[in-house]
Structure 1
Amino acid sequence: MDAYLLIITLIAIIIVILGVSLFKWHAFISLTVASLFLAIFSGMSWDKIVTGYETGVGGALGHLVGILALGTILGKMLAESGGGLSIARFFVRISGEKMLPWAMFFAGFIIGIPVFFEVGILILLPLVISIHKASNKNLLLIALPAIAGLSIVHGIIPPHPGAIAAISIYKANMGKVLLYGLIVAIPSGLIAGPLFAKLISKRVVPQNAPKFIEVEEKDPKSLPGVGLSFFIVLLPVVLLLLGTFAKYLTSNVSAQNVLAFIGSPLVALLISVFIAYILLGLRQGMNRDAIKKFTDESILPVGSIIIIIGAGGGFKQILIDSGVANVIGGMAHHFSLSPLILAYVIAVLIRVATGSATVALTTAAGIVAPIVAHMTGVNLELLVIATGAGSLFASHVNDAGFWMVKEYLGLSLKETFKTWTVLESILSVVAFAIVLVLNAFV
């Protein structure tokens, strides 16, 4: 019976992969079909299949919808006000010519905290192109560090959707994920960004001119101040950490509760959004109609991500209800396989097969979460980061990010493999290695 359950689980995962890559189904459809297949063929009672799936979806999305929406609004306000560009120009201004790749990495890293990867590229690209033309340096030396900063933050740092989904599925502490994530992300990004860019720029020189979407040029005087822009980006981070470490900051129980409330993800982001509305919106000359328009525009793209995360939660619940989780958990215990390694490997395989980091992360987390639910000594926060690291591995032709980087930077297919695909793989492997080291100490 155990072997049969493992076989149909494997088939269910193949359904997800083929649905996304071959049949071009939306990931939500693929995950839902795979969940129903697994439920039916594992022998679950017909009257419990849909209920179980819906329970999983509700459990995954219960507290995520507001967080994802608010995080997206904050990123939109930063992009539309020019705050992201202000931060990027600051890093370029304070760095010398030799330190430019490092400055571009930190610009991408900071800007990437509140904005999606795609938005971050659009913020940074005009600056990258102008520096490239003015300095006559290899485009890769400037662009790759910035993209590395954006990518590593997008993969493992909340409030990005992947990290948020894994935190929900594993029931990890968001503040600790943020703290450990920063410890992992910075060295990983520096190795895959400035250091790799310096190496690869000697071997690959793009022959074509970069392509990018025209973005309205902003007068530097009209941009928000650097201090204000940094404040808005880092405010939710500070509030989240404040909530996490409230009990160490004061012995007063009432004060601890207030700090924990303010530092809860939903409240921290809500506070940050309203402050952004005032400081990046109204004080920068936006009227209320413009702010509402930007809010509406930012929320629309979140819908697709939300239903994918929900379907991942449904898949996880079917794994539990069908008994598959117990079988896989027993095998992992028998072979003494670390949950960190298991989560990373599964995420890598699904990422390479489907091209979607979100699908890789939610599916891998759905498989591993029931296994670790009854284990002791598993660091759930590092488990989130390990899964996120696996979801970054080896971006190639089935990943939308691959084509975005290729087209915007004017790279050939071969050049994109040599640069972006390798960069993503380095990010993934180094981040996972650091997770394993951290796991030995925390």
Structure 2
Amino acid sequence: MSPAYIITIGALSIAAVLILIARFRAEPIITLFGVAVLIGLATGKAPTAAVASFENGAGHALGHIAFIIAFGTMLGRIVTESGAAERIADTLIARFGPRNIHWAMMCIGLLVGLPVFFDVGFVLLAPLAFVAARAAGQPLLLAALPLASGLSIAHALMPPHPAIMIAVEAYHASLPKMLLLGTVVMLPTAVLTGPVFARFIVPRLHIRGLSSLEAQFLERGDRGPLPPFWLSALVVLSPVLLILVGQIARFALPSGIGPWVGDLLGSTDVALVAATIFACVSLGLARGVAWADMAHRLHDCLAPIAFVVLLVGAGGGFGRALIDSGVSNVLTGLAVSWKMPILLLAWGLAAVVRLATGSATVAMSTAAAVLAPVALHTGLVAPEALVLATGAGSVAFGPVTDPVFWQIKEYLGMSVGQTLITWSVIETGISLMALAGAVAFQSMHSFF
């Protein structure tokens, strides 16, 4: 099959998903499955292979995120029902003011996003956004969009995220320089794509009612006095702290035990489970809640996330179908053959892989692996600028092939169209601003 045919199939499939769901209100999971199977059939696969491609992609996505969503929802339920989220929200509102809650959530997203993956941070902090927005009397999106923007920026631009570290090693970049460059680019990018954009777009949107998750986390109960702020913050940040401790243990402890302890504590699943148990004890049992009642609450909170989990899996299956069809390989080959300036090539290569696969991590690692030999051979571009340009391309578009697109949509109760003009615009804005930062750094590097 010709490259033009494969790219046409990929473009038509993405357009079909958008039109069927956004325009004709088709059921999203069935739509993603049906289009994914049609992609396989159109590119010459047998029916069983086409279905298997979707199943493999869905299984990979769910294997990564299903239990993260489950454990994060359990932790969020305890944090909200105990009043811990309300205590944090009240403190933030007192410090920033009700009209500035979007600035507070941006700061939280940047800080929490440094050590954890986006999906973990969003699941962990979404309940806080729900409660903070209600307490401040502001629309949910005014709190949630800057939070999501901050998490995404930290994920794409700042070490120690695995994809960034892969690019740093591939290009032989300086880690201290990358930390400084990432910080300089991260802050203005977060301001413009977070609070500034949210303040512009939110008044122009009309969200119908509450999502099932938002309604669940905003339920009020007879919970007595609110817990202290220090305990509330410690519970929310405990997964982040455990992951940080795990990363430090890898280097601080002897070689025989350091990696073992680091892998255990650094696991997001382990960190979330440990944090949930800590929350149950400190915010539940210690305040007189019976263990049976606590277990019942944890069980009940899982029902509303079933559709979210399945939709995320379907998004992963759709992305895998595009990969297996050859779209990713064709786009990668075309990007390299165009012989663009290497910074633009790094951005473009990561961007097309991102569009085809949906994964920022895959996009960054793929682009770095392809371009590293060329970059090291020519030596014309600062390796730190290449890392930043690759990271910028890896978050471009916020496409429907990314399971996070559907996660954002369901958590915030938006339509597909609303998700495109909020989340996809935020991701593209992050991408373009980070690319501009890479070009500016390279210009200064060449001058000096």
Q: TM-score, normalised by structure 1?
A: 0.66
Q: Using the alignment, how far apart are the partners of 1:382 and 1:271 within structure 2?
A: 36
Q: Quote how far apart the aligned CAs of 1:87 are.
A: 0.9
> Structure 1 regions of 5+ residues with no counterpart?
130-138, 159-166, 174-178, 348-359, 406-415
Which residue is 2:133 aligned to?
Answer: 125
Q: Is the 8 A contact 1:246 1:260 kept in 2?
A: no
Q: Is the CA contact 1:35–1:53 (under 8 Å) kept in the aligned structure 2?
A: yes
2:332 matched to 1:329?
yes
State whether structure 2 residue 370 is matched by structure 1 residue 375: yes
Percent identity over the alignment? Answer: 26
- Matched positions, count: 384
1:49 maps to 50
1:185-204 Cα offsets, whole Å, 9 max, x none, are 76544445556788x69xx9
State yes or no: 1:391 paired with 2:398. Answer: yes
Amino acid at match of 2:313: G
Distance 1:6-1:68 versus aligned 2 partners, 3 A rule: same
Does the 8 Å CA contact 1:79/1:119 hold for their aligned counterparts?
yes
Deviation track 1:179-219 (CA, whole Å, cap 9, x = no partner) reads 99x96876544445556788x69xx999xxxx998967789
Alpha-carbon offset, residue 278 of structure 1: 0.8
**Contact kept in structure 2, 1:232 and 1:272, CA below 8 Å:** yes
Contact 1:192 1:424 in 2 (8 A): no
Read off the aligned partner of 2:429 and give its amino acid letter: V
> Offset at 1:74?
1.2
Equivalent residue number for residue 381 of structure 2: none
Q: Which runs of 5+ in 2 are unaligned?
A: 113-119, 156-160, 167-178, 374-385, 443-448
1:255–1:363 CA distance, 2 compared to 1 (3 A): closer
Q: TM-score, normalised by structure 2?
A: 0.66
Q: Distance in 1 between the 2:191 and 2:337 partners?
A: 38
Look up the match of 2:169. none
Q: Aligned in 2, Cα 1:404/1:225: closer, same or farther, shift over 3 Å?
A: farther
Distance 1:40 1:366 in 2: 28
Instruction: Map 1:24-39 to 2 at 5 A.
Output: 24-39=25-40
**Counterpart-to-counterpart distance in 1, 2:396 and 2:301:** 26
Does structure 1 conserve the Cα–Cα contact (< 8 Å) formed by 2:332 and 2:349? no
Q: 4+ residue runs of structure 1 moved beyond 6 angstroms?
A: 96-101, 107-112, 170-173, 211-214, 216-221, 378-385, 398-405, 420-424, 438-441
Distance, in Å, in 2 between the alignment partners of 1:100 and 1:367 is 33
Say what the alpha-carbon RMSD is for the aligned residues.
Answer: 5.1
CA distance in 1, matches of 2:262, 2:45: 44
Change in Cα spacing, 1:92 to 1:50, as seen in structure 2 (3 Å) is closer
Q: Residues 59, 240 of structure 1: CA spacing in aligned structure 2 closer, same or farther, 3 A cutoff?
A: same
1:233-312 correspondence runs (5 A) = 233-312=236-315
* Deviates further, 362-371 or 2-11: 362-371
Deviation string 1:218-237 (CA, Å, 9 cap, x unpaired) is 89971111111111111111
Q: Distance in 1 between matches of 2:369 and 2:423?
A: 36
Name the residue aligned to 1:433: 433
* CA spacing shift, 1:68–1:341, aligned 2, 3 Å: farther
Say whether the 8 Å CA contact 2:10–2:327 is kept in structure 1: yes
* Aligned twin of 2:234: 231
Gap change, CA 1:154 and 1:19, over 3 Å in 2:
farther
1:146 alignment partner, one of 143, 146, 153:
143
